[in-house]
Structure 1
Amino acid sequence: MNDLTVSNVERQNVLNNRYAVEALQDNLGFAGMLFEGEYRFTKKMVADFYEVDLSTINRYISQYEEELKYNGYFLCRGKLLKELKLQFGHVINEMTKTTQLGLFSFRAVLNMGMLLTESEKAKQVRAWILDIVISTINKRAGGGTKYINTRDMDFLPAAIEEDNYRKNFTTAVGKCVQGHKTFKYAQVTDLIYQAVFKEKAKEYRALLRLDKDDNVRRTLYAEVLRCISSFENGIGFAIEAEYKENGGEQLSLERVKELITEQEQSPAMQPFTYDARSKMASRDVAFRDVFHNNIAGYLRAVTPEEFDRFIGDKSIDFDEIMELPENKEVLKRLKQADDEE
């Protein structure tokens, strides 16, 4: 993870991960006021906790108001403020005539800790946050994140779909493209990978620290697999059509490269490639602590719903599901699928 004080995406990836936030709340030892079903904290409480002046907290609120409000900071007014004073007047120690009071949720407290550069306490909290986030993700992912993509219930249908389209693609390349059978599959596959997520298989392997026996496609998110499926299906069709049009003359690798570039730039394909790049760039930073420099421009914060899909109640144990008798043949197919790189 990058420096939390400078990266809004990194901060939001922490705050959108409710499993990590819950673990932090259980262990931070910062008691607030349980009000309206949620713990609340005044600006003075936050200033005291981080061992800074109240003026420092006010300055950061002014500078990062939108971000802090998004994560639970708000001005308590009217009837709500009256109820708060009745319950916690002895705690907040505010004048009776006060008409509004800034309150932090626990997420907003963490948010402030990820922003404060003047506070040694905040620096310690940031280090602790990173440890808790990493351990929480690893624990909920079953001990590692290399195959965290398979915990998404959409992965298996996408993998089966991709395997089917892959056969059409390899048949077209084998019959209609010049070159050594093994090498040309690897070369064309690399061209497609570069078109979809701007990395060759070798580069991707290095970033994810994959072993030589690891299948690249087993590590790809469902949306990336579907984009590759669409790409391979379209390219396979284009290769075979031109092969027939040329009277059975095989296409050169350079011509295939041109076809791939045309498809990458196609308005029909661009929404799929944008989505695939965004999902890969963003999720790999959040879940695998892997930064894809070539698609850094597509980076965004992972949503709370995505955390649920991969490490929450909506995630699945892929290995357990594949042990079911009806999935044995599917697993065999996926294991035997070529991974020409």
Structure 2
Amino acid sequence: MAELSDSKLERQNILNNRLAMKEAEKQFNLSGIEMDGIIYYTRQQVSSFFDVDIRTIERVTEDNRQELEGNDLKMLSGKKLQEFKKNAAEVTDIDVGHKVVNLSVSSFRTLLNYAMLLQNSDQAKAVRNTILDIVIDVMNKQVGGNTKYINQRDEDYIKSAFINENYRKQYTDALNNYLEMGPVKYAVYTDKIYQSIFKERAKEYKKILKLSNNDRVRETMYSEIIDLVSSYESGLADCMKRKYLEKGNQKITPQELNEIIKEFSSMPLWKPLIAKARMKMASRDFVFRNAMHESLEDYIVPIDEGEYERFIGEKSMELNERLDKMQDVFKRLKDR
């Protein structure tokens, strides 16, 4: 992990982790001024907390204003400022001042953002170390320290995996019935799809995620990736069948299938779907699995709060728990 003061991506990934933020706020238990259900801190309080001159806070603010404002830094004036002053008056050790007409205030999230930006504060460094420990502890608590199958905690995973089995069979049947090639074709032409979507062969993917030879790649994929693979397999199965029929029921050659895949994967409709899938996989693995897909490095973006909720929050669930809850659904499907 890069030093937080040097990496906006890593800072934002932590600040968007609502579970970690909530636990950190509980541990630090700082006194501030409440407004609209949120605790805020004045610039003077921030400088005192980090034991730096207020001009240092002002300089950091000007250099990183867009990032800080994206993490709840606010400028109060008018009615909001009057409300804040009224609330502050109830806290005896905080003096906003009667002549102030504009006031910069920080939430706890902003405070942590400052901790990640201040390079010459021992207190800021201590806060950075603490929040990193909290992030690790929260992750371990939610997933038991093993993130290999964190993708399966998503409520969409079961549906995608279930549907994929049908499309996977269509594809392997098409390879068997329409392609003139030995048994190696199943691995070769599965890799072709993986390379089109996320630029990696199955072997390379396993190495990056530190999977064993016995681990099934698709069991570790996010639902969006599985859905896209299913679309590819369904479409290519149909293309192979049509080429086979065009040739008078004669099997196609690997060269012909390579041309089909090249044309199929270059269709404009795939571009936004592939870009989104690459972004999801690269960004999630970077955060949740500490895995870097170097071929997709340009697609890495910060994980938003909804993603944390999806994979480690209240909506997430171990696969066996979700399967237990879905027994009635499966039974109804079986009885049809």
The TM-score normalised by the length of structure 1 is: 0.90
Partners in 2 of 1:294 and 1:325 — Cα distance?
37
Give the superposed CA RMSD: 2.0
Q: Which of 148, 151, 155 is matched with 1:149 structurally?
A: 151
Which residue of structure 2 lines up, in the alignment, with residue 295 of structure 1? 296
Offset from partner CA, 1:30-56 (integer Å, 9 cap, x none) = 332233321111112111222221111
Give SS of 2:281's match.
helix
Deviates more, 1:111-120 or 1:64-73: 111-120
Checking the alignment, whether the CA contact within 8 Å between 1:5 and 1:116 is kept in structure 2 is yes
Q: CA deviation at 1:88?
A: 2.1
Which residue of structure 2 lines up, in the alignment, with residue 68 of structure 1? 68
Give SS of 1:104's match.
strand
Which residue of structure 1 lines up, in the alignment, with residue 31 of structure 2? 31
Q: Which of 110, 115, 118 is matched with 1:113 structurally?
A: 115
Partners in 2 of 1:320 and 1:93 — Cα distance?
52
Amino acid at match of 2:102: Q
Structure 1's consecutive aligned runs of 4 or more residues displaced over 4 angstroms after TM superposition are 327-330
Deviates more, 1:51-60 or 1:86-95: 86-95
Checking the alignment, whether the CA contact within 8 Å between 1:281 and 1:298 is kept in structure 2 is yes
Partners in 2 of 1:223 and 1:210 — Cα distance?
20
The structure-2 alpha-carbon separation of the partners of 1:138 and 1:252, relative to structure 1 and needing over 3 Å to count, comes to farther
Runs of 5+ in structure 1 lacking a partner? 331-341
Q: CA deviation at 1:29?
A: 4.3
Partners in 1 of 2:303 and 2:199 — Cα distance?
21
Checking the alignment, whether the CA contact within 8 Å between 1:322 and 1:328 is kept in structure 2 is no
Listed as ranges, the matches of 1:222-301 within 5 Å are 222-301=223-302
Offset from partner CA, 1:175-231 (integer Å, 9 cap, x none) = 2223221x1100101111010111111111111111222111011011000000001
Amino acid at match of 2:321: E
Which residue of structure 1 lines up, in the alignment, with residue 334 of structure 2? none
Partners in 1 of 2:264 and 2:141 — Cα distance?
40
Partners in 1 of 2:3 and 2:328 — Cα distance?
43
Which residue of structure 2 lines up, in the alignment, with residue 78 of structure 1? 78
Offset from partner CA, 1:117-162 (integer Å, 9 cap, x none) = 2223222222222221122123112442111111111111111111
Give SS of 1:91's match.
coil
Partners in 2 of 1:256 and 1:8 — Cα distance?
44
Deviates more, 1:263-272 or 1:155-164: 263-272
Q: CA deviation at 1:324?
A: 6.1
Which residue of structure 2 lines up, in the alignment, with residue 21 of structure 1? 21
Checking the alignment, whether the CA contact within 8 Å between 1:24 and 1:129 is kept in structure 2 is yes
Listed as ranges, the matches of 1:1-341 within 5 Å are 1-89=1-89, 90-181=92-183, 183-323=184-324, 326=327
The structure-2 alpha-carbon separation of the partners of 1:245 and 1:65, relative to structure 1 and needing over 3 Å to count, comes to same
Partners in 1 of 2:104 and 2:299 — Cα distance?
35
Checking the alignment, whether the CA contact within 8 Å between 2:33 and 2:84 is kept in structure 1 is no
Deviates more, 1:201-210 or 1:263-272: 263-272
Runs of 5+ in structure 2 lacking a partner? 332-336
Partners in 2 of 1:91 and 1:77 — Cα distance?
22
Deviates more, 1:300-309 or 1:102-111: 300-309
Amino acid at match of 1:249: Q
Percent identity over the alignment?
A: 38
The TM-score normalised by the length of structure 2 is: 0.92
Checking the alignment, whether the CA contact within 8 Å between 2:191 and 2:202 is kept in structure 1 is yes
Partners in 2 of 1:78 and 1:15 — Cα distance?
29
Amino acid at match of 1:112: Y
Give SS of 2:76's match.
strand
The count of residues paired between Structure 1 and Structure 2 equals 329
Which residue of structure 2 lines up, in the alignment, with residue 333 of structure 1? none
Partners in 1 of 2:264 and 2:79 — Cα distance?
59
Amino acid at match of 2:132: L
Partners in 2 of 1:320 and 1:179 — Cα distance?
42
Q: CA deviation at 1:321?
A: 2.7
The structure-2 alpha-carbon separation of the partners of 1:325 and 1:132, relative to structure 1 and needing over 3 Å to count, comes to closer
Amino acid at match of 1:140: Q
Give SS of 1:92's match.
coil
Checking the alignment, whether the CA contact within 8 Å between 1:321 and 1:327 is kept in structure 2 is no
The structure-2 alpha-carbon separation of the partners of 1:327 and 1:279, relative to structure 1 and needing over 3 Å to count, comes to farther
Checking the alignment, whether the CA contact within 8 Å between 2:34 and 2:87 is kept in structure 1 is no
